[in-house]
Structure 1
């Protein structure tokens, strides 16, 4: 009986920690996101480690920015990439690529920027739109596997505190 009481107490104490880790998990499926990336994104994007220059996903596409470390990265900040003024404005305001922001943007880049900036003239340069919301979540889960996980987590936590 004493063992049962201890086990029950430990279960109750562990529940908040489990709930917290579940709350920070991404909604998408990374394996499915890899398939989506290879089907929808490789024509324009690459995931390349900037320290080693190793291409981790995609091919050497340079139409869009390198998506290495995109999760938690400040918007519009990949060096030597010509972002739209609207995306640069988002970055200057301290906005980072959260799961919610990424999903909204890839489904309708210009529409999302117009809504977020409350500016009907805002524009994004990305013409492609991910049609299915689930696919957008999967893409984010996949891309979040690349980069400095601790830095990404810290940036996402800071963004959550600011909102």
Structure 2
């Protein structure tokens, strides 16, 4: 009797263990998660160089001579209104925050009497050897602080080619004898096609030598 009861307890225990193991195996199969071979996310880098900001290539600067060919001093007078707070334009005009701009084209830099120039402008002018030609004006008005590091010029610059050219055309008109306009750069002539190389004529084959009789 006692042996039969012990057997029941053993069987019940084994059944319990079997049920627990079965539940554990089933849980692992249901809730298991696969792990990637490599941790993290793989970022594929695109081949080739990175494009310029906005996905556009950097613009090529147009020569000032080309821009001035279609510039309008009347439009430039309107653009100059932004400059009038710091500069006068009339002949004999006084210096304000900036020097007067009468006859400024081809004027030696940093030489207006009575105006206190920054050390950076004096250094750039090389003692007045550098002049405000069209090239210097164009680059300076595009970005004053970018072109002459340390200048006291507060103007941020005008990145629009047409406005800048109109302004320079107006500055050119502020003179009793306006400076001549630069000649636009002529387009490079197209290269003439090279003639096809003639192959040398092949020499006629030598006649076969007859055996001596």
TM range (shorter): 0.5 to 0.7
Greater than 2 Å deviation, 4+ residue runs: 23-28
Counterpart residue number, 1:31: 74
TM-score (norm 1): 0.61
Q: Say whether the 8 Å CA contact 2:72–2:170 is kept in structure 1.
A: yes
Counterpart residue number, 1:138: 166
1 or 2 for the larger relative contact order (CA 8 Å, sep ≥6)?
1
2:175 to 124, 131, 147: 147
- Aligned equivalents of 2:67, 2:174: Cα separation in 1: 15
TM-score (norm 2): 0.48
Per the TM alignment, residue 130 of structure 1 is displaced from its structure 2 partner at its CA by 3.0
Query: Aligned pair 1:43/2:85, yes or no?
Result: yes
Q: More strand per residue: 1 or 2?
A: 1
Counterpart residue number, 2:152: 125
Q: Give the secondary structure class of the aligned counterpart of 1:104.
A: helix
Counterpart residue number, 1:74: 108
Q: Say whether the 8 Å CA contact 1:42–1:61 is kept in structure 2.
A: no
Counterpart residue number, 1:64: 98
Q: Say whether the 8 Å CA contact 1:45–1:62 is kept in structure 2.
A: yes
TM-aligned CA distance change 1:49 to 1:93, over 3 Å: closer
- Aligned equivalents of 1:124, 1:106: Cα separation in 2: 12
- Aligned equivalents of 1:46, 1:90: Cα separation in 2: 23
TM-aligned CA distance change 1:93 to 1:70, over 3 Å: closer
What do residues 56-85 of structure 1 show as CA deviations (whole Å, max 9, x unaligned)? xxxx77111100000010111111111111
Q: More helix per residue: 1 or 2?
A: 1
What do residues 45-104 of structure 1 show as CA deviations (whole Å, max 9, x unaligned)? 111312xx5xxxxxx771111000000101111111111112122321611111121121
Per the TM alignment, residue 24 of structure 1 is displaced from its structure 2 partner at its CA by 9.8
Q: Say whether the 8 Å CA contact 2:134–2:168 is kept in structure 1.
A: yes
2:141 to 106, 109, 117: 106
What is the CA RMSD across the aligned residues, in angstroms?
2.5
- Aligned equivalents of 2:95, 2:130: Cα separation in 1: 25
Give the structure with higher Rg (CA): 2
